[in-house]
Amino acid sequence: MSNTISSAIATRDTGPGALIAQHRGDIELVMPSHMQKRVGAWIRTTQGLLRRNEKLLEAAQNDPGQFMAVLMDAANLGLVPGTEQYYLVPRWNKKKRATEVTGVRGYQGEIELMYRAGAVSSVIVEVVYENDRFEYRPGRDERPLHEIDWDSVDRGELRLAYAYAVMKDGATSKVVVLNRGHIAKAMAKSESANGKYPHLSPWSTDTEAMWLKTAAHRLTKWVPTSAEYIREQLRARADVAAEQGSTTVPTTAALPQPLEDDPDDDVIEAELVDGEAVA
């Protein structure tokens, strides 16, 4: 076997892709139970991303520990790296004077976590372009009116992003409406958007998706986003049952609809970025 081939095999066996496979057990352990059966596909998707993105591979090689920490975060959330659920982005570390991998949760990831908590029946997250019709007046409208001319070749520039959830009892969550100013503030706080490689940031490669993510993330202040919410409810019910001497163990189906006892679970007025109605 030539030295070149031997070197290539050594690099393959000790590189970030191999490191992911070596930690399969750890990844599977922290994943939500519904994801554990798909851990193989999860790993292959991540390995494929490294093969297609040289900058990302370089960043992962520079700091494998940081790379695995990011992957473990994605696994713990039950999100797939390298997708609109969870972006993997190279960023410049000034202290190390080298690139490293950082994780950026995408809008689909935010939505997935809301659904998984079990409190919502649907989540609506949309962007509004200049030529769209958009109306929402807090206190008058339960939900925004958004009309799009689908025949239009050009809908104009991005103007707004909004998000709300319909709870399982039919109530509407807080409606979040963000304008360009709020999106700009969110982008200004992004390390990936303001680092050495801003062109690799999802703010540059997938701008609309990051507007959606910003609105979805703001909505998470008002909507449960973790399956742990359900588990906590089950544990609380089990504790109560034990204290009462009941032999019946509560199940998820026996739980009340989440938030039904919350006085703010009725229609909540929107968070408006300008403090007035948007039209």
- What are 197-242's pLDDT values in tens digits? 788 788 988 899 999 999 999 999 999 886 555 555 556 666 666 6
Residues pairing with 125 in the sheet: 163
Under 8 Å between Cβ of 136 and 144: yes
Which stretches of the chain score pLDDT less than 50? 1-12, 248-279
Q: In degrees, to the nearest 5, what angle opens at C-alpha 198 toward C-alphas 56 and 164?
A: 95
- What are 40-53's pLDDT values in tens digits? 999 999 999 999 99
Ranges of beta strands (E only) in the chain are 86-93, 98-105, 120-129, 133-135, 145-147, 158-167, 176-179, 271-272
Helices (H) and strands (E) in the chain, counts: 12, 8
CA distance 83 to 261: 36
Domain ranges of the chain: 3-105, 113-224+264-272
